[in-house]
Amino acid sequence: MKKIEHLGIAVHNMQDSNKLFEKLLGVAPYKQEEVASEGVMTSFFQNGPNKIELLAATDPTGPIAKFLEKKGEGIHHVAFEVDDIKAEMERLKHEGFTLLNEKPKKGADNKWVAFVHPKSANGVLVELCQEIKE
């Protein structure tokens, strides 16, 4: 694990939250991207070497909608940057963590991503992400 790449924050209203985080961080979001397979709209802010990813539901039955319903707004996941996501997934499996994905999948912001189940990580949904290089 190289560093915290971003924090994912679940929000009800993307427009309002974009304005709020623009005020908070003093910078506008540099990218907005829908991940249709996850039923989520994302918005990214750069903050020094790290990023903030806002997540709003686009599918009322998707994982973000369910999270908002159960827990309300707030920190949804912590994402760590890795060099070799497959090797890192193997390592974590051997360490006894439960992975939510069999294989890396394409996430937002040009990344391969995989998730560790929060039940195996003290209640924290952990994302591994590796930049996609063509």
Binding site for Zn ion (CB under 5 A): 8, 53, 79, 127
- Name the minimum Å distance from CB 98 to Zn ion: 18
Return the SS3 of 20: helix
- Name the minimum Å distance from CB 114 to Zn ion: 11
Q: Residue 113: CB partners within 8 Å, gap ≥ 6? A: 79, 85, 101, 104, 105, 106, 107, 127, 128, 129, 130
- Name the minimum Å distance from CB 29 to Zn ion: 14
What is d(CA 59, CA 67) in angstroms, rounded to the nearest whole number? 12
Residue sitting closest to Zn ion (CB): 8
Closest CB to Zn ion among 94 and 105? 105
Closest CB to Zn ion among 80 and 97? 80
**Residue 43: beta bridge partners?**
32, 54
Give the containing element (helix H, strand E) for 89. Answer: helix 85-94
Closest CB to Zn ion among 77 and 134? 77
Closest CB to Zn ion among 94 and 106? 106
- Name the minimum Å distance from CB 52 to Zn ion: 10
What is d(CA 53, CA 68) in angstroms, rounded to the nearest whole number? 15
